[in-house]
């Protein structure tokens, strides 16, 4: 056999093999194959927590965030979805007395916890002192970040009262003071695109009783 003939056979063999492979991929999967390749059902779990003083028992996809649970399942839409990455603070709620970004926390992590949202702090008829102070000092403009700002502000004053240290303290073993710098540092994770920061601090100082 000549060299050119061997080369041609080799080319022909490659083409035939390619055609067979393409044809095999076009054959429909059997029912068993389709079943085997179907995605598994999303795992669910039962979660019980107390939200704004009311016990809630839910069956949730284990991937559901606390934020989406509050908004979509419990219709507590005061808690806002801002960045959804834990960077803006719009979704701040209070869990067992501590402020958290609810967009970064899975609901299944809060079995038995007590969650307080902006709706649980006060009502239009009976405002929480921090809500009233935000109104008095014009601590908001568009209002989108305000629920998270208020929840965080309430928790910040409690943190200082309990002696939780911060980065601005010269001595982190000492008791933090109710200073403007202290409150600014602790509120730095709550972003206000409208720039109402000074008014927010005025409201916090008013509630804390340190405003002249």
CATH label of the domain that carries residue 96: 3.10.20.30
**What mean pLDDT comes out for the span 67-93?**
97
Structure token pair of residue 118: 């902006």
DSSP-derived letter for residue 73 is I
Q: Is 105 in the same domain as 152?
A: no
* In a domain? residue 28: no
3-state DSSP percent of the chain in helix, strand and coil, to 5:
45, 15, 40
* In a domain? residue 34: no
Query: In terms of residue numbers, what domain contains 113?
Result: 40-120
Is 149 within 8 Å of 89 (Cβ atoms)?
yes
* Domain termination site, one of 100, 120, 140: 120
Q: Is 53 in the same domain as 70?
A: yes
Higher-confidence residue of 94 and 24: namely: 94
The whole-number pLDDT of residue 12 equals: 58
Q: What is the average pLDDT value for the chain, to the nearest integer?
A: 88
Give the pLDDT band (50/70/90) at residue 33: low
The whole-number pLDDT of residue 211 equals: 73
* Domain termination site, one of 62, 96, 120: 120
Dihedral, 212, 186, 100, 56 alpha carbons, nearest 10: -10
pLDDT digits (tens, 9 = 90+) for 122-143: 999 999 999 999 999 999 999 9
| pLDDT greater than 50 at residue 20 | no
* In a domain? residue 152: yes
Domains in the chain: how many in total? Answer: 2
* In a domain? residue 30: no
* Domain termination site, one of 98, 120, 142: 120
* In a domain? residue 194: yes
Higher-confidence residue of 41 and 30: namely: 41
DSSP-derived letter for residue 84 is S
The whole-number pLDDT of residue 42 equals: 81
The whole-number pLDDT of residue 10 equals: 58
Q: Is 102 in the same domain as 132?
A: no
Give the pLDDT band (50/70/90) at residue 24: very low
The whole-number pLDDT of residue 169 equals: 87
* In a domain? residue 7: no
Q: In what side-by-side order are the strands of the sheet with 44-51?
A: 54-61, 44-51, 114-116, 92-95, 98-101
Is 148 within 8 Å of 79 (Cβ atoms)?
yes
Closest Cα to residue 72, out of 58, 82, 86? 58
* In a domain? residue 35: no
pLDDT digits (tens, 9 = 90+) for 38-53: 667 789 999 999 999 9
Q: Is 184 in the same domain as 202?
A: yes
Give the pLDDT band (50/70/90) at residue 7: very low
The whole-number pLDDT of residue 179 equals: 93
């Amino acid at each position: 056999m000549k060299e050119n003939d061997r080369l041609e056979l080799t080319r022909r063999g490659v083409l035939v093999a390619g055609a067979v492979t393409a044809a095999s991929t076009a054959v429909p999967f059997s029912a068993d194959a389709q079943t085997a390749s179907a995605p598994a059902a999303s795992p669910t779990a039962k979660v019980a927590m107390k939200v704004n003083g009311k016990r809630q028992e839910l069956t949730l996809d284990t991937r559901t965030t606390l934020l989406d649970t509050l908004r979509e399942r419990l219709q507590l839409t005061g808690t806002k979805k801002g960045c959804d990455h834990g960077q803006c603070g719009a979704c701040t709620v209070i869990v067992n007395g501590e402020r958290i970004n609810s967009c970064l926390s899975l609901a299944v992590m809060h079995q038995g916890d007590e969650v307080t949202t902006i709706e649980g702090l006060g009502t239009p008829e009976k405002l929480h002192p921090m809500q009233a102070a935000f109104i008095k000092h014009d601590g908001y403009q568009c209002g989108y970040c305000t629920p998270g700002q208020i929840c965080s502000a309430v928790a910040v004053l409690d943190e200082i009262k309990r002696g939780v240290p911060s980065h601005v303290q010269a001595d982190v073993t000492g008791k933090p003071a109710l200073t403007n710098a202290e409150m600014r540092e602790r509120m730095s994770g709550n972003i206000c695109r409208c720039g109402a920061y000074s008014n927010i601090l005025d409201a916090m100082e008013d509630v804390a009783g340190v405003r002249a």
